[in-house]
């Protein structure tokens, strides 16, 4: 008879305290954090630069004729070849592995040609009404790990491939978006920080003029504020390896804005701190120079996020199909309500006393987006989330695929991945996950533009006729 072996005890029993103590090493002081940060910084730079060009900068890959006709320009490959043969002045691409490959700059030139010479019923350029400002889109949730940055990055890349000109603003001091787009940020003066400081400095200058008129001493402008007055939006915008995506990057020191902004507010209680980013975008001409401005926010409802949300026309809130993320997102919406309702209440009390019209925060549209979705495991919970959020929920659930995972590991977007490195089915499925997210976003985008255009037209008719018009 074979004796049954005893079931081994769990690994947390019979631990030796003396042996455990020997594994601790020396006590850790603050200097050890600096050493760990230095090593991590070197490792981060090494990993981030994998796949970079020898000069240490990212390069966007080229696109094949198959990709162009399948995803970028709605023409048949044979027709594209005929057009290229007929117009030798157009980009001809580079021949490789039996196909022609084009840079995105060349693709944009080809798109312009078809928009001017092609069939009028096809959409060669995306909808963008003339005379209206860019749409500002904030991607936010105060829970980390919900796919916020990856969603924002892929929306920016999708829009760029679609032909829109995009400005991406990284407001997260972790700088993940900056790494994805290959940005180089030396210090906080290459982030949005000086734009926020400049807005405060200008309000302080206005306050000083009032004080001077009243015979009161002015409030001093320190060195930071004086320097910020010389900074413009163009000083902090940098080009990326995408020809139609620009970036305002982030780095660790940007987090100091969360401490500095309330100090400024205490020094000048009339300063509308939530409008600082909006003012920077308007004064810098960004609303005219770009089609879409994408704001990637930190995983917190701090002053940077409040600025992003106040500036936004469209708010996207990513979350996973889990109880904890659903719960956290519900609390996020509750905090949004309490925060912005509080601002409205305080401001409007002062406005009523001054006989001024009341202010109100408004967004064209707000949508929650399920990310990293696993249909086999999460469908029931996703349906529950959909039922509770109702019309504030995107219909499409963004699937997690092998392509998405590999792109994340290489600090790149899926649109930067060369399909030749994947099974064609894997590539198509992975791309579809974000193509469908972009399609739903684009519908929100063009719908809000169209509504704005109708309102502008109605206002113009009212001004011309002197009678109210309905849009």
Q: Tell me what pLDDT residue 409 has.
A: 59
Listed residue (293, 321, 392, 376) closest to 147, CA to CA: 321
Residue 430 binned pLDDT confidence (cut-offs 50, 70, 90): confident
For residue range 93-146, what is the model confidence (pLDDT) as tens digits? 998 877 899 999 999 999 999 999 877 788 899 999 999 999 999 999 988 888
Q: What is the mean pLDDT of the chain?
A: 89
Q: Tell me what pLDDT residue 92 has.
A: 94
Q: Tell me what pLDDT residue 5 has.
A: 66
Listed residue (279, 272, 265) closest to 350, CA to CA: 272
Q: Tell me what pLDDT residue 463 has.
A: 83
Say if residue 279's pLDDT is above 90: yes
Q: Tell me what pLDDT residue 53 has.
A: 53
Q: Average pLDDT for residues 167-177, to the nearest whole number?
A: 95
Q: Tell me what pLDDT residue 7 has.
A: 83
Better pLDDT: 411 or 433:
433
Its pTM stands at 0.89
Report how far apart, in Å, the C-alpha atoms of 243 and of each of 239, 414, 425, 443 are: 8, 17, 28, 24
Report how far apart, in Å, the C-alpha atoms of 174 and of each of 64, 251, 262, 328, 447 are: 34, 6, 21, 21, 33
Residue 471 binned pLDDT confidence (cut-offs 50, 70, 90): very low
Residue 62 binned pLDDT confidence (cut-offs 50, 70, 90): very high
């Amino acid at each position: 008879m074979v004796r049954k072996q005893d079931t081994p005890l769990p690994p947390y029993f019979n631990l030796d305290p003396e042996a455990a103590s020997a594994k601790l090493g020396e006590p850790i002081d603050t200097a050890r954090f600096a050493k760990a940060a230095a090593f991590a910084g070197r490792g981060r730079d090494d990993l981030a630069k994998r796949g970079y060009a020898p000069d240490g900068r990212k390069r966007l890959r080229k696109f094949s004729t198959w990709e162009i006709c399948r995803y970028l320009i709605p023409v048949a490959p044979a027709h594209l070849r005929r057009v290229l043969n007929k117009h030798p002045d157009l980009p001809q691409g580079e021949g490789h592995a039996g196909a022609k490959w084009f840079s995105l700059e060349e693709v944009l030139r080809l798109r312009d040609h078809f928009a001017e010479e092609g069939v009028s019923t096809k959409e060669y350029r995306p909808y963008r009404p003339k005379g209206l400002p860019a749409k500002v889109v904030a991607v936010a949730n105060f829970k980390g790990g919900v796919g916020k940055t990856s969603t924002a990055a892929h929306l920016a890349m999708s829009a760029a491939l679609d032909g829109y000109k995009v400005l991406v603003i990284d407001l997260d001091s972790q700088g993940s978006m900056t790494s994805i787009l290959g940005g180089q940020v030396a210090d906080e003066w290459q982030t949005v920080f000086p734009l926020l400081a400049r807005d405060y400095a200008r309000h302080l200058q206005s306050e000083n003029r009032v004080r001077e008129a009243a015979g009161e001493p002015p409030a001093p402008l320190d060195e930071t504020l004086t320097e910020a007055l010389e900074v413009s939006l163009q000083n902090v915008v940098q080009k990326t390896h995408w020809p139609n995506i620009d970036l305002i990057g982030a780095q660790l020191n940007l987090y100091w804005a969360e401490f500095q902004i309330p100090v400024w507010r205490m020094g000048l209680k009339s300063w509308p701190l939530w409008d600082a980013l909006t003012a920077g975008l308007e004064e810098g001409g960004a609303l005219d120079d770009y089609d879409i401005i994408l704001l990637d926010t930190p995983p917190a409802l701090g002053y940077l996020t409040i600025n992003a949300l106040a500036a936004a026309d469209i708010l996207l809130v990513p979350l996973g199909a889990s109880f904890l993320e659903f719960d956290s997102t519900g609390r996020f919406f509750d905090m949004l309500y309490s925060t912005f309702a509080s601002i409205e209440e305080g401001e409007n009390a002062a406005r009523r006393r001054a006989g001024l019209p009341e202010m109100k925060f408004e967004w064209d549209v707000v949508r929650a987006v399920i990310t990293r979705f696993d249909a086999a495991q999460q469908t029931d919970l996703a349906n529950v989330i959909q039922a509770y959020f109702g019309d504030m929920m995107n219909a499409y659930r963004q699937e997690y695929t092998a392509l998405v995972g590999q792109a994340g590991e290489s600090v790149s977007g899926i649109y930067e991945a060369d399909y030749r490195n994947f099974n064609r089915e894997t590539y198509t499925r992975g791309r579809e996950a974000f193509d469908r997210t972009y399609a739903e976003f684009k519908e929100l985008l063009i719908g809000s533009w169209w509504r704005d255009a109708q309102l502008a037209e109605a206002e113009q008719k009212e001004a011309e006729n002197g009678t109210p018009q309905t849009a």
